[in-house]
Amino acid sequence: MSDTNKKMNECKVTATQGECENKPHKPQLSLGKIITKVPVVLAELTLQVNIDAFIDFPEPVLEIKDIKKHVKLTQCRLLLPTNKLFVKGFVRKNIQYATPCPEIENSTRTSVASELHSLTVDVPFQCVTEIHHFLTKPVMPEFNKRHEFDFLISKQLPTGFPEKDELQTSDLSQFHQESSQHYNEIPFCELISSKIFEWDEAVDRGPIPGHAPLGEGFFTRIEEKMVVDITLKVLQKQQIRVTSTTNDDHHHDCDDRC
């Protein structure tokens, strides 16, 4: 079969996207006093992290054009039964900068030729803060327990002891234990917002060798100081009681009329 006949015998499928109707359903509700397990907000707070770090560039930098920043949390752990909150993460920085062209003839007394590059780095941070006020008290963990117990045994004494006496002790060849384990709900965090105040300053800036405009130079290292405000929620799954007395059919009827 020729290629032309193959193309003619191929099955072609086309599809269109149109409107489709839908009908709302009333959800099935449980009435009365219901116990449910949901995430409960323990605390909502803003903590402040101070960062002082050095960043090295892979090439000379003429000037920084822009810096985009994002906060990334890698750990946020409330250490129960204490009120200490351990926070760890990074500030992701994408730095756009101009680097001088390597050719010397591209720089003159009145101009400097450069290329636009970027560098992405993660600046780490970690801190410990204490939660002084809980919106809802956390459910403290239940401790695991282990209890050992023994049974009394009686044995005859060897020669040298009175015949009426006997050895009473526990059996060292056996081991008996009762143990219990509790699988507690661990608190967790949700990141809400962040605010960063920063100061970046070159620490090794020098003049461009050869012909260059007055005051122009390059650097390969900067020192940055950042004050990072992080707002987050601390939550824990807890059992709470919800009271429902009606399905609120009047509200649904009103919606149908509207």
Across 54-58, average pLDDT: 96
Q: Answer with the residue of higher pLDDT: 80 or 9.
A: 80
Residues 158-168 pLDDT 10s: 888 887 788 88
* Mean pLDDT, the chain, whole residue set: 87
Residues 190-218 pLDDT 10s: 999 999 999 999 999 988 877 778 788 89
The CA distance from 120 to 138, in Å, is 39
Q: What is the DSSP letter of 163?
A: T
Across 51-67, average pLDDT: 95
48-to-123, 194, 229, 231 alpha-carbon distances in Å: 15, 10, 5, 9
The CA distance from 217 to 24, in Å, is 68
What's the angle, vertex CA 72, arms to CA 68 and CA 73, rounded to 5?
160
Residues 111-148 pLDDT 10s: 888 899 999 999 999 999 999 999 999 999 999 999 98
Model confidence at 258, pLDDT cuts 50, 70, 90, reads very low
